Structure 1
Amino acid sequence: MGLDAVHRYAMIPPGKLLRPLLVLHAALTVGGELGAVLPAAVGIEGAHVGSLLHDDIIDRDTQRRGRAAVHTEFGPAQAVVAGNALFFSWFATLSECRRLGVPADRVERAMAVQAEAGVAICRGAFDELAMRGDLELGVGAYVAMARAKTAVLLAAACRVGAILGGGDAPTTELLGDFGDHLGICFQIRDDVLPYDPIAARAMGKPSDSDVRNRRPTLPVLIAHRRADPESRAALRHALLDETEPELALCRIRAVLERTGALDTAHAMADDHARRARELLTRLPATAHVAHVRALALLTRPAH
């Protein structure tokens, strides 16, 4: 069983393909050619999947997309190496774009965006580990972590697509800001899913992962800040001391409902989605811009 087989298992069937679609539509929005930037779109999906391979090991999650996670199917060491290879392939695909006619200066600028994003993603993942069990964490610190962990890659997808497609600096930055808001929206809605019984059943991965890993996601932080002393103590016990993840999840859900934390988290996600859409109104109303706008719908909950 070789590396290619592990990659095939990890990437097929695919997820939403949000990041590669952002690369392609950003490029088309600025007048780029689809064929010339397609390798970069494939590369960014590889980088995303590589991060999922590592995330599942860190979180000890045994399922991904409704089946055995890569480290469960092939082994943790194989998953680490396969994830590393996918990260490197992200940069290799830029060379393919150059071969297909993208000017060297654009490839160089896209390379710099990808490298900066890669470091930021690692920083975000590291910060998330440091935040485990910290219920006093402020919402601002959470948003900064979500931006680095998730939004940076969506923003990079938009910027890379725009750069490779020949977009000017203002348009490239506008599309990058769109991806930033979209990414924060995406992360918040992902954090809410485990606490929605209907959506949790369709997640394709363990719904108790955040609880098992003592991860203070946005709705939990909001609830802890609003709760009365009794509910705050119950929330703290469920996240930090409860040994049965399913029981902890049920108890946390109850506190979130009492405090209205889920509604507030949804409202924050909606606000970032609205800000993302508003940015696009500054661009000409073309079919490609409409396609970029439609990608915001992919952040909506599965149900």
Structure 2
Amino acid sequence: MINHVVRSARSAGREEQPHEWTPEEVYAALRAEFAERWPATLHGLGRVQRYALIPPGKLVRPLLTVWSALAVGGRLDHVLPVAVGSEAAHTASLMHDDIIDGDDIRRSRPAVHIAFGVEPAIIAGNSLLIEILGSLVRVADRGVPLQAVLEAMRIAADAGAAACRGAYDELALAGRLDCPVDTYLAMAHGKTAVFTRAACQSGAVLGGAGPEQVDALAAYGEQYGMAFQIRDDMLAYRTGDATSKNGKPADSDLRNRRPTLPLLLAYQRGTGQQRRTLRRALTRRAPSLQQVHQILHETGALARAHHMADQYWGRARQALNRLPQSRARTELAAMPLPAP
């Protein structure tokens, strides 16, 4: 059914009254694009890629790309390959993170390097990182103007470079509870917000948006990404449960000595004893996750982090006011964030 709808949209082009896609139709179109690109019959490298990608996760970046394109009157089939390519690149970064961090679980199942081995996981991750290039060729084949394709390529290249800098900066912060919050936020911007901004920008560009709409969606994606990262930081400390964080170990950040925003805020506000406990948590003489959770609650760090995420999310939705009303804009305003 969804393939028939997409084909109808391709033949219709950009109409005065474009099809108002439902979330169910968009999800179905994304799943179909994944299945077409990585069918169940694949072997070798393709099998490793498919394991990493299917079933897909939350599809945050693909949804940002698609809804951004539709919000400016673009065509769904013009952005589907890039939406899927963005998820492939994101998944590659998670595969590499799991190897570096020593995390054996991802999406509540064995991580790729556990299921297939470290070397195949690295190779498969590298191959998925460059999937965005192939996806841009596919959208050109579907009739997107080459100038828009080149601009989307520039956006992807800039985001990839910034994300690498963010990941490098994160390594330098390991164990540093005295890190200024602004320094951490700058790192989080490079690690996460540049990707969500790029997803929205590329969707807008491939959807035929003008500069003002591209800027509005870039601002939305950037602020949304910051809200998303802060909420993600909070997941491990919601209850003190060490079993999982989005299908991976909840204590991963502590084991890898990452001073996430809640820890930094608690350290700023904590007593001498609380600070000593937090320092031990980041030197692998770790107190229990429950103890850390208690300190974050007592110092108000979780509440403060929640408030900061809400501020970013509010600015993201405010940026959408520069776009015309549409179902796609409504879907962007309702994009999910990790549960606080």
1:163 & 1:200 partners in 2: Cα distance?
A: 42
| Match 2:171 to one of 98, 115, 129 | 129
In the TM superposition, residue 17 of structure 1 has moved relative to its aligned partner by 0.5
Q: Find the counterpart in structure 2 of residue 276 from structure 1.
A: 316
In the TM superposition, residue 196 of structure 1 has moved relative to its aligned partner by 1.3
Contact 1:37 1:97 in 2 (8 A): yes
Q: Find the counterpart in structure 2 of residue 153 from structure 1.
A: 195
Report the AA paired with residue 279 of structure 1: A
Report the AA paired with residue 287 of structure 1: R
Q: Find the counterpart in structure 1 of residue 59 from structure 2.
A: 17
The 1:88/1:131 distance shift into structure 2, 3 A limit, reads same
In the TM superposition, residue 199 of structure 1 has moved relative to its aligned partner by 7.6
1:282 & 1:32 partners in 2: Cα distance?
A: 17
In the TM superposition, residue 198 of structure 1 has moved relative to its aligned partner by 7.6
Say whether 1:254 aligns with 2:297. no
In the TM superposition, residue 238 of structure 1 has moved relative to its aligned partner by 2.1
| Match 1:264 to one of 304, 327, 339 | 304
Report the AA paired with residue 263 of structure 1: A
The 1:241/1:87 distance shift into structure 2, 3 A limit, reads closer
Encode CA deviations 1:18-45: one digit per residue, 9 max, x unaligned: 1001111111111111112111111101
Contact 2:68 2:217 in 1 (8 A): yes
Say whether 1:31 aligns with 2:73. yes
Q: Find the counterpart in structure 2 of residue 170 from structure 1.
A: 212
Report the AA paired with residue 251 of structure 2: D
Encode CA deviations 1:184-236: one digit per residue, 9 max, x unaligned: 11111111111112886562100010110011000000000111112111211
Report the AA paired with residue 227 of structure 1: G
Q: Find the counterpart in structure 1 of residue 29 from structure 2.
A: none
Within-5 A mapping of 1:1-12: 2-12=44-54
2:44 & 2:104 partners in 1: Cα distance?
A: 21
Report the AA paired with residue 121 of structure 1: A
| Match 1:212 to one of 255, 261, 266 | 255
Contact 2:103 2:252 in 1 (8 A): yes
Contact 1:94 1:111 in 2 (8 A): yes
Report the AA paired with residue 216 of structure 2: L
Contact 1:193 1:199 in 2 (8 A): no
1:131 & 1:198 partners in 2: Cα distance?
A: 23
2:108 & 2:240 partners in 1: Cα distance?
A: 15
Within-5 A mapping of 1:78-157: 78-157=120-199
1:71 & 1:229 partners in 2: Cα distance?
A: 41
2:90 & 2:252 partners in 1: Cα distance?
A: 19
Contact 2:240 2:290 in 1 (8 A): no
Say whether 1:229 aligns with 2:269. no
Contact 2:53 2:91 in 1 (8 A): yes
Higher helix fraction (1 or 2): 1
CA RMSD in angstroms comes to 1.4
Encode CA deviations 1:245-295: one digit per residue, 9 max, x unaligned: 5x4422211211110101101111111111111111222122221121121
Q: Structure 1, unaligned stretches of length 5 or more?
A: none
Contact 2:224 2:312 in 1 (8 A): yes
TM-score in terms of structure 1 length: 0.95
Q: How many residues matched?
A: 297
Q: Structure 2, unaligned stretches of length 5 or more?
A: 1-42
Encode CA deviations 1:161-183: one digit per residue, 9 max, x unaligned: 00011101111011011011111
What is the percent sequence identity of the aligned residues? 48
2:200 & 2:281 partners in 1: Cα distance?
A: 39
Bigger Rg over Cα? 2
1:36 & 1:232 partners in 2: Cα distance?
A: 52
The 1:157/1:214 distance shift into structure 2, 3 A limit, reads same
Contact 1:239 1:248 in 2 (8 A): no
1:201 & 1:127 partners in 2: Cα distance?
A: 28
1:56 & 1:31 partners in 2: Cα distance?
A: 38
